[in-house]
Amino acid sequence: MAKTLNVAMIGYGFMGRAHSNAYRQVSQFFDLKYLPVLKVACARDPEKIQKFAENWGWESTETDWRKVVERKDVDAIDIGSPNNTHREIALAAAAAGKTILCEKPLAMNLAEASEMTEAVERAGVANFVWFNYRRVPAITLAKQIVDEGRLGRVFHYRAYYLQDWTISPDLPQGGQTLWRLDKDVAGSGVTGDLISHAVDTAIWLNGPVTKVVGDVETFIKERPLQDAPDEKKAVEIDDACQFLCRFANGSLGLFESTRYARGRKNKNGFEINGEHASIAFDLEDPHRLLFFDHNDPSHLQGWRSIHVTGFEHPYMKNWWVPGTTIGYEHTFINSLADFLKGLETGTPAGPTFRDALPTQAVCDAVLDSAEVGQWQMVVPV
């Protein structure tokens, strides 16, 4: 028999939209015991949150997240507000015994993330971090290929996350939609926003990272403020971040992220080179996975472009028919479906808060390394 899960959404920005859409759609496409109910949406601006709630069908609104956490008719808190709010909300929500789904990066740094993890575990509440790209079907298929042992010993892992939307020096920083450029709110620039995705995927596919040496740069040194266009302020975030690393399995890693790669829009990809096979993925063609198998007859070896839209591919039997693609938002719906299934079965879907700690540790180590100009060991977590 169906059970409802009353959800509260904190935040109404881009992620607020993506999550709301997932709550609205998941039950039509997945056969689940838990049915999410869009109970309350919360943000400081009453008009904006009202409009948001109406559009997405949230039953009510609040302007103070503390009230939301206290509401008895709320089972789960979804933290979609800026990074500097995650810790406080998560701690309160855990204390109130709520299920928690938190946008990535989990926290401003490893210390915060660890505190939050201890809190949810102490409280015994279900918890989840929205590293949605694990549920791109092609990436899930990559995980399956790795788990099937098709790669053999891994030699190389390389990853990139390239965008180009902040090249113009006229683009302002801060404010409602551009807080990702404000270090006080975002914690870091592309490291927390982009490369954290790449690192989460890497650790999931290739295991722990043991040491790193990184380099970051801020190309545009000052920008106007979104909320005060006539003022300029120094930019403190990292516009670009790249690092070398070693994995515990002995493979070499190489990561890069930037918002200054002209022509690259949302190019989040990776390649793994193993003894027997290699895998490559690029989010700009999210429905494809490239696979090279050295076990093929030698004259027929080549990189296969797998059109990951068949019934035999992860998640795809829940959607349309072979050959038809799904989009960006489906990664959130797939994630939610797995999370709800985890509630049902008692085996939590990852990444939990704890699963997200190694990523936070790597990001911290990279930023530290860039600051001191040295290799850094990654704190084991």
Q: Does 188 bind a copy of itself (CB under 8 A)?
A: no
Residue 137: which of 351, 336, 335 has the closest Cα?
335
Site residues for a copy of itself, 231-260, by CB under 8 A, read: 240, 242-244, 246, 250, 252, 254, 256, 258, 260
* Near a copy of itself by CB under 8 A: residue from 88, 236, 293, 368: 293
Q: Which of residues 130-159 bind a copy of itself (CB under 8 A)?
A: 141, 144-145, 155-156, 158
Of residues 260 through 289, those in contact with a copy of itself by CB under 8 A are 260-267, 271, 273-278, 283-289
Q: Would you count residue 298 as binding a copy of itself (CB under 8 A)?
A: yes
Contacts of 283 (CB under 8 A, 6+ apart): 133, 136, 266, 267, 268, 269
Instruction: Give CA–CA dist 80/74, Å, rounded.
Output: 16
Nearer to a copy of itself, 300 or 346 (CB): 300
1: tokens are: 């028999």
Say whether residue 111 binds a copy of itself (CB under 8 A): no
Among 64, 97, 165, 317, binds a copy of itself (CB under 8 A): 165
- The yes or no reply on residue 228 touching a copy of itself (CB under 8 A) is no
Tell me if 30 contacts a copy of itself by CB under 8 A.
Answer: no
**Window contacting a copy of itself (CB under 8 A); options: 22-30, 65-73, 113-121, 350-358:** 22-30
Nearer to a copy of itself (CB atom), residue 174 or residue 214: 214
CA pair distance 349, 343, nearest whole angstrom:
8
AA letter at 42: C
Tell me, letter by letter, the H, E, C secondary structure of 131-189. Answer: CHHHHCHHHHHHHHHHHCCCCCCEEEEEEEEECCCCCCCCCCEECCCEHHHCHHHHCCC
Q: Which of 9, 76, 326, 337 binds a copy of itself (CB under 8 A)?
A: 326
Residues 6+ apart with CB under 8 A from 248: 207, 208, 209, 210
Smallest distance, a copy of itself to C-beta of residue 98, A: 26
